[in-house]
Structure 1
Amino acid sequence: MKRALLAIAGGLIVSQALAVPQISPQRIIVNPVETELKVNVWVDKAPNNPNATPDYFPGENIKISTKVNQDAYVYLFNVDPEGHVDLILPNKYASGDNFLKANTTKVFPGENDGFTYEIAAPYGVNKVLALASKTALDLNTLAKFQSNQGFATVSATSQNQLAQKLSIIVKPIPQESWITATAYYNVARPGSTQVEETGNLKVDANVDGAAVYVDGNKVGNTPTTIANLTTGTHNVRITANGYTDYSSTVTIRANQSTNLNVTLRREVRSGNVAVNTNVAADVYLNGKLYGRSDLTVRDLPEGTYTLKLVANGYETYNSSVTVRDGQTTAVNVTLQAVRYSVRVTSNVNGALVFVNGKQAGTIQNGAASFNLAPDNYEIVVIAPGYYVKSARLNLGSNSNIDFDLTRIQ
């Protein structure tokens, strides 16, 4: 069968319980809330250019395609320049199911459908609205299928009525769970020579394979040339893993090629390191002094660093620390005081060794050993029947002291 395809026109309004959709002369309806859900819609004469308005003449067939990035229910509305509304999807033909899996393109009419969409008057620019929702919509107040009828009868007899009914339908839906897109085509009079002014955009970047988006729609990867863009201003975004997104606007002029050469900057992923110690210590990361603990070193590029902590009178601490993006890595260290070995030897076994007036050991097998922090010490050795002997020691390294005790006569 053949079906004359009428086109969408006018300002469609979809309201939200928490946010009021914005009305756009170009896109008809826009969800003001940024959503992860995306939908694309296009006609077969302009598969890569959502801003194009290709000409179709009465009697020609047209195919409409749509795609979502997440599983969703998609509703296609068609309003002609006189305000007549058709519900294209869902329908009761072979490909009429309106549930689309993520990243799957669906074409209407499909290969197994028993009909074609044939262009017919009225003449003028038409719009096709795609509304995607994560949950199924109840369209009973807007459209109903009659017996043996492939397409629903829409109760909205004007663009404004369609807007009012849709606003009621989507009101209960969470604002982040729906999104719209619009495609255009022109029903041209036979023999007319209406030609849309277009130009080309050549995009290159310092990173091959970066994704290129024009007006929110992916159009290729760098380097690429986008042909037949409508004249005027377009939004361009370029993305690549590990690089900061680039966004700008370009102006397309009729029959001209515009060059856009972009230098993407490496994405700086950074974190912090918080160093806490039991005594104040100099903090070095990769050999650079950042200050004295306790302190937090901020905005370090992600990666692994050598950490060194230095404090007078304490053992130097060496380790590694990993910085992760958006995180603060805590390093808690108890520095150990420096200790030197002192070995005291004597000719008298059993002699007592005193350090700064306190007994520190006993001579056994000719020696006594102990560890002391760097400082000034008085070492005294006492044994019954022997004269007392002492020595002063400025300890700055491992030391040996020998005491030859003399018997008392």
Structure 2
Amino acid sequence: MPTLSLSVLADENIPLASEAFGSLGTVQTLPGRAIERADLMDIDALFVRSVTTVGPELLSGTPVRFVGSATIGTDHIDQEWLQNEGIAFAHAPASNADSVADYVVAIALHLALKTDTSLADRTAGIIGCGNTGSRVAARLRALGANVLQNDPPLAEEADKRGEDHPYVSLDHVLEKANLISLHTPLTTHGPHPTHHLFNGDRIGQLQKETWLINTSRGAVIDNQALSSCLRAPRANVTATALDVWENEPTPDAELLRHVDLSTPHVAGYAFDGKVRGTSMLYHAFCEFLDIEPAWSPDAALAPARLGALRLSPPDARLPRTEYLDALARQACDVAADHHRLQKVLDVPPDERGAYFSRLRKTYPKRREMQMHSVSKDAVPEAYHEFVRDGLQITLVDDVR
């Protein structure tokens, strides 16, 4: 296909952007937080991630006619304004849903091991049951947890159709669950706003010894209220894992000090999910241009060598939680991510934002758990279902 004379600007953290869009024109990349209106004065298409706010302040008076966001969420995009201006928009729903689900499973196993409990003793409340939340619900259930699901918009849609559904009220979840995992978009208007959905009052309603996990958007939790709760003498939240924060890239230092797992907004950063997002935007842009797609990410996703994604089986004598954590950690080491972010507290306050952003930019390549395999014969038969359905790691027969 001949090169088109289009000008493209992409967030430097969108993988393979130059390879994907290079055949369509010239491609420039910039840090997402640094993209300004002046950078867009000769740009036809803009591709961003969640750190770039897109609306009239950024795009007014520019020639941009297509915006793509390599993200599931769209709270950083003024879609109504884009539509009114005739600017096409596409994003990447479900692109990193498996990546986030991997991360939540790895967090849950880490917390279970740390607190010397079992997921079978947990009732998980999944708040937001779209592409990501539904995957998390299925996988925690496969790992032995009782699961409650809360999603008012999906419940209302099912009610209108006269269909049964699994969704319960948030109050019911708060009354019964002792593991809360948040997977909602960030909204401030409408019938079900999620900004500070977990405010001080709701945090106070949580059951004793609750684990609170947030991989959605930072402002779904009132961070100041959570920080106060965690510093209380007898906090009802006994374990907290936050991947997203208010005021990124400079989250509250006191909150950072008190959470059990702190990570720099990387739950969805598995290489497979990021490349899937690039591919989805590439196909959407080709459709907008009315041309046939010519680029494929398959070569980039192939393992570097045979067996590169084969995991080492842990000691078969280990108890179930310890065994599953040891296996999951080889694919998704949330503790290592936590330790890297905790070092930000040793950095001067005026340099912390750059440190946080650098962690995201230099994040080690992580592959989705479903891309990994382990010898079936080396895994105790009693653990097969947990590995296959909970971790979604492939069990392979050894060649004899």
**TM norm structure 2:** 0.20
**TM norm structure 1:** 0.20
Task: Please state which structure has a larger fraction of its residues in helix.
Answer: 2
Task: Please state which structure has a larger fraction of its residues in strand.
Answer: 1
Larger Rg computed on CA atoms: 1
Which protein, 1 or 2, shows the higher relative CO under an 8 Å CA cutoff with sep ≥ 6?
2
